[in-house]
Amino acid sequence: MSFLFSSSLHLLPPSNPATSFSHHLPPRIAAVSSSPAVGGVFSVAATSLSHYPHGHSRCGPLYCSSSASMSLEESTPASQLEDSLLYARAFWVSRYVIAWNVEVGSGSCYLFGSKMATLRVNDGVVEGYDVKIKLEKDRGPLPENVIKKFPHIQNYCPFTVPLGSAVEPLLKCQLAVATFNSYGQCNNITCLQLPGVLDDLFSYEGPLGAVYSKEAVSLYLWAPTAQAVQAQIYKEPVGGRPFEVIQLEELDGVWRTKGPKSWEGCYYEYEVTVYHPSTLKVEKCFSTDPYSRGVSSDGRRTLFVDLGSDDLKPEGWDKLADEKPPLHSFSDISIYELHVRDFSISDQSVHPDMRGGYMGFTLQDSDGITHLKKLSNAGISHVHLLPTFQFGGVDDDKSKWKSLDIELLEKLPPDSAEQQSLIADIQNSDGYNWGYNPILWGVPKGSYASDPNGPCRLIEFRKMVQALNQIGLRVVLDVVYNHLHGCGPFDPSSVLDKIVPGYYLRRNIDGFIENSTCVNNTASEHFMVERMIVDDILHWVVDYKVDGFRFDLMGHLMTSTMLKAKNALQILTQEKNGVDGSSIYLYGEGWDFGEVAKNGRGVNASQFNLFGTGIGSFNDRVRDAMLGGSPFGHPLQQGFVTGLLLEPNDHDHGTDKDAEFTLAVSKDHIQVAMAANLKDYVLANFEGKEVKGSEVRTYDGSSVAYASCPTETVNYVSAHDNETLFDVVSLKTPRNITVNDRCRMNHLATSIIALSQGIPFFHCGDELLRSKSMDRDSYNSGDWFNRLDFTYMTNNWGVGLPPKEKNEYNWPLIKPRLADPSFKPSKSHILAAVENFTNLLQIRYSSPLFRLKTANAIQKRVRFHNTGTSLIPGVIVMSIEDGQEGIPGLTQLDPIYSYIVVVVNARPSEISFPCPALRARTLQLHPIQLMSTDPMVKNSAYEPSTGCFMVPSRTTSVFVELRKHE
């Protein structure tokens, strides 16, 4: 792939294919322009620059280049020098230090600045500059603080900017550094990346955005590279002309102005005149405020809105902190992941005007709310909402949405390709998207509100949080700080990259935007990016009283960012801030990949780096061990729950000995997870050796365990990404087993998550046998493939072949399964799944022994049996011991049960497991399972004289020992 420049044709190196993540849209390519204009005189001593008209160049997201920077000895051939300004391979890392991996030898190095962005190279001569400063080569390495901040350039050569140089005004220019040989000929030239020097000179902790007082409204915008900034004030959310245009004044990189209180309720937009590295021109960029707290439809203009106004508060809002569901410990958390639109868009018990939005959560007797109440009463503590900030991909104006005839879709065969074809035709024009396309982090999404203009979305979002709290559920927001939907000076979705171009988005060593998260990676290692993330988190907690955050691709943020956020929350109190910040739980995806892998850009918030922080990360090890392989492996690879060895499908798993080995290893992975994935937890592995959790290895040799305490582990078997749990089970199991068997496997998987130490996490629909017709990536598959039915009539299985784009290669596997009516569960299956799920939750919350708070407590109390070389394949036996009051040793935690045994039987037949260590106990089946309508679990039994457990096939049985009271 290449980039087309408008003044002449220049081909850049082909892009590096970005690592694909299923909920992100693919990157796009757009044209970028260079500037042929010639500039005028520039004063180095100037403190501000006048602005200039922008050109008509267009810019979209830039791919990161796969080429490496030049070696120390290499110089650029004269024929390529003119193209070198397309790159930014030098780094201005602090006021007086520039890093570049070139060697000048007996030559020289100069810094060039052009106010009008007219730098060019003509026959080896640099032209079009206003400033030329000689740089001195430093013989030593880069300073330690620079290496720590920019480890990926640690071996670059430092060049010194002369003391006394007026650096601040230079940063408003097009900048380049060039080397010259001893004859004065230019042999290397490149533009500069500026985040380091901007952090050094302009790190700022004062007010940003719109600040309200009794008499006035003040605006603050951090834009140290801008040449001029205007605020255009409008009465209308769209159209019309500004009734006032204000020139902001700059002080230390912050542009500011003060206006009348009458601005409240109006809208504004910034016009920023700034050099933009993507077009190599000085541009006029039109943008909303990065710190917007309200916007018009589709975020085109920022709304002047004071969130502290009583008019924006639902009745009782200020007392909500006192009425929140109790949370005594993070160990008591269990999380239910939900998409706002999915929840009510198909719920016929909800008024059509309220379906699919915030207000769908405010009813008391809808089918969906009735179901949530059932889960809340059983023990679910937190509802995790997929992105609710202002995102791209869904128009806020509902009148522009396209839809399909549902009756037509319902008439089509279950394995037809027609449904997905019809949906693909409108998928970018309907009302559906998961929302992982951030435009503005700090504003609720307008498409979920009754009216996307004005303060409606703000009020309704608060009503949603309040309503969920009132039925016993705390609210977690899914936040996406790792990337932005747009970039460049003209993309309507671009905001931050218009305000301070080249700062907020992480770039590679050639100067092109990194796209390992799919598009436009952000750089939390930069001071003002980190500050904005922390500010945003505090805003959602204080202004919307949310209770937690799930960080998308958290590993692409720095650990320092996560800790600053956590520490900032810790100091919030109900007395001062109206919220208890210590009750806010943070967790996310700690994947380690891309340019940040192995601390490539600093210590990133990956699983192993979060040890000891108290911040949770998703445990993919237990998911893969249970289901088999990974979401990126062969779709028929079986695991512990899906029949590996015991009920083989047609996939080649090697010899029986190979499959038995894989099953035993998977069992160890699951047992480590059930002990909260603690690094130092000691257990006996399948070989009978005592090992720590960190010594149990994954397929690539890395440690399974990474946590220091139970709340650093979020155990899950399914989430919005990839196929649903029921669909995975239906795909991986042999086609000749029954739907009853598949339902029991679904139950078995959720039981392991529900009864493990650590934080259990469930995808909405795990308890409903939810299907997406085997769609592995439903982020843009519309309401049809994402339907939920809280009447329990259907699980959405067999609604057509899933969308071609992400699933076609699996259609040969999917089609016969969808066509087979025996795969489809009945209402009775769904009702049984709901009961099984709520029973598991009730069992978890029936004893604090399932929710131990410390690593030490887990090590002392949790034991695994059925280990070593004589183990029964496909069976896990876990015991949890409590102490006795007045007896030395373990303290007493549970007033009801003194001992618990969990037996997980993944085998297709009943097992009899004698355990001498558990002989002579007074164990009995848990009362909740005794009262279950599941006849199989009721057949579970324990024989005290032999310590033998009898557990039916594909069943998890919980045995308890009632405490003896005098």
The residues annotated with a catalytic role in the active site are: 552, 589
CA 343 to chain CA mean position, Å: 20
Alpha helices in 628-764 (DSSP H): 656-674, 725-732, 739-754
741: which 2 tokens?
A: 């068997």
CA distances from 243 to 96, 249, 266, 354, 378 (A): 44, 20, 10, 35, 56
Contact 282, 54 (CB under 8 A): yes
Of 587, 525, 533, residue with least CA distance to 196: 525
Contact 472, 334 (CB under 8 A): no
**267-276/302-303 β-pairing:** antiparallel
Q: Which helix (H) or strand (E) holds 464?
A: helix 456-470
51: which 2 tokens?
A: 């602005």
Contact 476, 462 (CB under 8 A): no
- Rounded to 10°, the helix 725-732/811-819 angle is 100
Looking at residue 514, the DSSP 8-state letter turns out to be: P
Sign of CA dihedral 700, 701, 704, 709: negative
Place of tokens 């029936």: 846
Looking at residue 64, the DSSP 8-state letter turns out to be: P
CA-CA distance, 684 to 881, in Å (whole number)? 17
781: which 2 tokens?
A: 């598959």
* N-terminal to C-terminal alpha carbon distance within the chain: 79
- State the CB neighbour count (10 A cutoff) for residue 397: 14
Report residue 707: phi and psi, to 5°. -95, 155
For 261-341, list the strands marked E by DSSP: 267-276, 281-287, 302-303, 335-338
Residue 318: left (phi > 0), alpha (psi -120 to 50), or beta?
A: alpha
DSSP states along 862-926: EEEES-STTPPTTEEEEEEE---TTSSSSPP--SSEEEEEEEEE-SSS-EEEE-GGGTT--EEE-
CA 783 to chain CA mean position, Å: 22
862: which 2 tokens?
A: 């949790």
Contact 89, 511 (CB under 8 A): yes
- Single-letter residue type at 901: V
Alpha helices in 152-246 (DSSP H): 167-170, 195-202
Looking at residue 396, the DSSP 8-state letter turns out to be: S
Burial of 964 (0-12, 13-18, 19+ CB in 10 A): exposed
- Rounded to 10°, the helix 527-544/456-470 angle is 60
Contact 334, 760 (CB under 8 A): yes
- Rounded to 10°, the helix 739-754/827-844 angle is 20
- Single-letter residue type at 598: K
CA-CA distance, 530 to 195, in Å (whole number)? 12
Contact 412, 418 (CB under 8 A): yes
Looking at residue 515, the DSSP 8-state letter turns out to be: -
- Single-letter residue type at 346: S
Q: Which helix (H) or strand (E) holds 249?
A: strand 249-251
